Chains A and B, each alone.
Chain A
Amino acid sequence: MYRVYRYRIAWVPLLGLAGSFLLALAAPPIHAQTAREIIDRVDRLLRGESSRGRVTMEITTEHWSRSLEMEVWSLGVDHSLVRVEAPAREAGTATLKAGQEVWNYLPRVDRTIKVPPSLMMGSWMGSHFTNDDLVKESRIVDDYDFEIAFEGEREGVDVWEFVLTPHPEAPVVWGRVEEQVRKADLMPTWIRYHDDDGKLVRTMTFSGYQTMGGRLVPATMLVIPADKPDELTSLTYHKLEFDIALDESFFSLRNLRSRR
């Protein structure tokens, strides 16, 4: 009846992830008004935000290692298209999310299957990211309370360290999230996820800060599970464009199948 289905589906663009951390930033209390403005602005920026990028994902697990190169398009939080470009035997595999519906295209058999959301499993494409990460980004502001735990220098860099505590009824699995952000450019450096007992469950680190598509972004993100330190997932952006000419009609089944 109830079996473990280890099926993974690409959900929403990875950019959303980066964006979510921008959202998660709260200005220091003394700049409370400014903080709200920043958050509001970023929030409005992401809705209706269109983007396109090329990313390499490397996953190392206990049982296997893989490297994938993907082309990613996104529009807001409801629309996304991810297509695998490499390795060659998986090239053309694509996932389309439009609203609540998700489709997968399998080039090897040249078929498209519709995946009901109820069959979503925890991990996204076998990586250490979860669907949670990719779906909930719009609600981080709603779901957490922010607090500055530290303000000062770490290894020569001026940073804030925030502690995010979920609201009592927020549907999030984390008990506590800690985040370090560079003061100078508001770039996140790391995020630590803890469970309800305060135990570290996974760490996300950011690096490779560069300007892409006219914005400063961390080009590389690493996720390391705390209980299996030999495993990791890394995402590296090679190309990223924002505000491109993209509307909802782009996210169609036809585009899912095409090898453009």
Chain B
Amino acid sequence: MSRDAIWWRVAWRSLWRNRLRTLITASGLAFGFLAAVIMVGLTDGMVTELVNNGTRLIIGQAQVHADDFLPERSMHRTIGGYDGTDVEALIARMESNPNVAAVAPRVYGGGLLSSGDETQAGLLMGIDPRREPEVTTLLLNVSAGRPPVAGANEILVGAAMADQLGLELGAEVVVVAPAVDGSMGNDLFTLVGTFETGTPALDANYAILALPDLQLLMALDEERIHEVAVAFVQASETALSSASLAETLSDGPPVRVSPWTELRPELAEMIALMDGANFLIVVIIFAMAIFGVANTMLLGTFERRHEFALVRALGTTPLGVWRTVVYEGIILGLMSLLGGALITWPILVWWHNFPPDLTSLISGFSMSGSQWRPILRVEYSLMAPLVSAIALFLTSILAALYPAWKATRIPPADALADR
């Protein structure tokens, strides 16, 4: 026991006696750790940002419909059929699922918006102004005015559509849409705001109304809605969360829970590829970090062959030398990684909470609030620090062990004489 303790002390002293060497080695380990963890955080952050941007704008991470609603999206196929369903109860049931963060009910219609001589076809979307911001960022893109409130015949349209129709805030818009009883629903609405998402498909085609107002226009009872959009607690676990939600809803009206990957397969594919690219990036950084550490350790330990020869000459067994090296490696590894973690942690926290917003650099061209918010974000991960730490730790020990082993194969006298 005490013999063992000696080796530890020897190792410790050896480290401190060669401060420069220790510092050099430690810096490689610490910085390698920092780089690997930050890189993983960044790439995770990029993917999360993409998923968020792609889904949080309007579609949400999943959508619930009547099981016969997709793909035609017939306005007659409300959740629960012609009778509809108790919407509040449905929402409550959904919110009771632990994976669900927030839900927002929607009603859809297609029709015409007209002002003066201009008429445009539009997709009418009825939302709950209170619930919608919890699931999507659509209402955050209001560039002028405000979202509509229920019961006041208010409407919010995309900026491009407002342009086409020559609308100013407060202007009157005639909205005509087929109703579910076969008649032509029509009413006057007041423009209370315009939104700009940067996506032409939305800005030129969508008109947002309060859900009860659209129901009235389309002769839908208040129990009839078309869709409930969902935001999950974990943005990256949509498949599992969707399945869980489907379970929760299995005892109600027949519904289908569609994760965003089904609704936007092209986005899912792009993100999957980006994931692959990110993996490669991380591998490259990792490879360099590990190589750097290995290289440093090899060099450092080779340089110590005289020292090893000397202690061997003084009676230390080869095993003893190796033990020193390993123990040094352990102490050094732990200390450096601890130091690395101490530096990394605050940087990570700061970056995560105050991600640099590149809007000022990127929107130099006339496009306010592009769908891709130009923010570099980092995400926390458990795997990354763990794997990096272990990998770097092992590398440093093994990379030191090899030259130590080689050094002790030569008889000390020869080593000392440089033969």
Contact = CB atoms under 8 A, between A and B. Distances in A.
Interface of A: 1, 3-8, 59, 61-66, 89-90, 93, 104, 106, 108-109, 111, 113-116, 119, 126
Contacts of A89: 183
A8 B200 CA distance: 26
Interface in B102-129: 110-112, 114, 117-119, 121, 123
B178 A109 contact: no
* Interface residues on chain B, size class: 20 to 34
B174 interface: yes
B205 A126 contact: no
B178 A66 contact: no
Contacts of A5: 110-112, 121
A65 B182 CA distance: 7
Contacts, number: 75
Contact of B114 (A1, A6, A111, A126): A111
Given A63-B182, A114-B119, 16 more contacts: A1-B205, A3-B121, A4-B73, A4-B110, A5-B121, A6-B75, A6-B110, A7-B112, A59-B182, A62-B76, A90-B184, A104-B176, A106-B186, A109-B187, A111-B174, A111-B188
A109 B180 contact: no
Interface of B: 72-73, 75-76, 82, 110-112, 114, 117-119, 121, 123, 174, 176-178, 180-184, 186-188, 200-201, 205
Prevailing SS type, chain A contact patch: loop
17 contacts: A3-B121, A3-B205, A6-B110, A6-B178, A7-B110, A7-B178, A62-B76, A63-B182, A89-B183, A90-B184, A106-B184, A113-B119, A114-B118, A114-B119, A115-B119, A116-B119, A119-B112
Given A3-B121, A106-B174, A93 B184 contact: yes
B119 A109 contact: no
Contacts of B183: 66, 89-90
Given A1-B201, A59-B182, A119-B119, A113 B176 contact: yes
Contacts of B182: 59, 61, 63-66, 126
B100 to A, nearest CB: 29
Contact of A7 (B111, B123, B180, B201): B111
Contacts of B176: 7, 104, 106, 113
A8 B119 contact: no
Contacts of A109: 174, 186-188
A103 B111 CA distance: 15
A3 B123 contact: yes
Enumerate the 8 nearest inter-chain pairs by beta-carbon distance, A residue then B residue, closest first.
A113-B114, A64-B182, A66-B182, A63-B76, A106-B186, A6-B178, A109-B188, A5-B110
A127 to B, nearest CB: 9
Given A6-B110, A119-B112, A64 B180 contact: yes
A108 B153 CA distance: 14
Contacts of A64: 180-182
